[in-house]
């Protein structure tokens, strides 16, 4: 990804936040972000922005962002503002890191992320139909989240389980031979949790 592309992505995220106040998914209610967790994270990982590009600030920022991602499930605008306020690191720099690394997301995701495999072995064994069944059952497309924030849907390259294709993950739990007819029972299992 070129710097221009990264900046554009970051800029789009910023504009998106400005336009919708940071709400995401298919839900309609805007959530008030509780800043208690990020305050505790900042207290435990105090960093100082000396204004010098030593790399130290960025590595501390990564730790803070990783903990924030874990605590919130995403990096809300309010959290980025809190980090900026406390550390002095420009929000554009924070956005830059958040949007560069796949481990971070600026959109609130579902409690469970269903990741179907788009690798060749899984596609040959019916992975396409499985994904269609997931989308139909949840009424959302890839990259979207249900209105109740229970499920998000994603696809990924080979999950390393070709022998039991088609494979899919629900968070970290692997499901093999997840053919079309198994989709409903699998989703039912997580709908009640
Ligand atoms: S191609 Fe799907 S697990 Fe390998």
Output the CATH code of domain 112-191.
3.40.30.10
Q: How far is the CA of 18 from the centre of ligand 1 (A)?
A: 39
For residue 66, give both structure tokens: 């990783």
Q: How far is the CA of 119 from the centre of ligand 1 (A)?
A: 5
Ligand 1 within 6 A of 168 CB? no
- Per-residue pLDDT of 16-43, as tens digits, reads 443 333 333 444 445 688 999 999 999 8
- Per-residue pLDDT of 122-181, as tens digits, reads 999 999 999 999 999 999 999 999 999 999 999 999 999 999 999 999 998 999 999 999
Q: How far is the CA of 182 from the centre of ligand 1 (A)?
A: 17
Three-state DSSP state, 154: strand
Backbone phi and psi for residue 139, each to the nearest 5 degrees, phi listed first: 70, 30
Ligand 1 within 6 A of 159 CB? yes
- In the chain, where does the domain assigned CATH 3.40.30.10 lie? 112-191
Cα 150 to Cα 41: distance, rounded to the nearest angstrom:
26
């Amino acid at each position: 990804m070129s710097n221009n592309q990264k900046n554009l992505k970051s800029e789009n995220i910023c504009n998106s936040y400005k336009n919708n106040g940071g709400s995401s998914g298919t839900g309609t209610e805007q959530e008030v972000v509780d800043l208690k967790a990020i305050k505790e994270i900042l207290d435990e990982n105090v960093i100082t922005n000396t204004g010098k590009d030593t790399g130290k600030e960025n590595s501390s920022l990564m730790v803070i962002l990783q903990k924030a991602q874990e605590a919130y499930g995403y990096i809300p605008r309010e959290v980025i503002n809190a980090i900026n306020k406390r550390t002095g690191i420009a929000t554009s720099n924070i956005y830059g890191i958040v949007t560069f690394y796949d481990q971070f997301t600026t959109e609130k995701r579902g409690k469970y992320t269903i990741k179907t495999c788009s690798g060749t072995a899984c596609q040959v064994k019916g992975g396409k139909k499985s994904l269609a069944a997931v989308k139909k059952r949840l009424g959302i497309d890839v990259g979207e989240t249900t209105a109740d924030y229970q499920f998000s849907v994603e696809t990924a390259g080979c999950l390393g389980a070709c022998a039991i294709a088609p494979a899919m993950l629900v968070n970290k739990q692997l499901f093999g031979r997840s053919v079309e007819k198994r989709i409903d029972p699998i989703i039912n299992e997580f709908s009640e949790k």
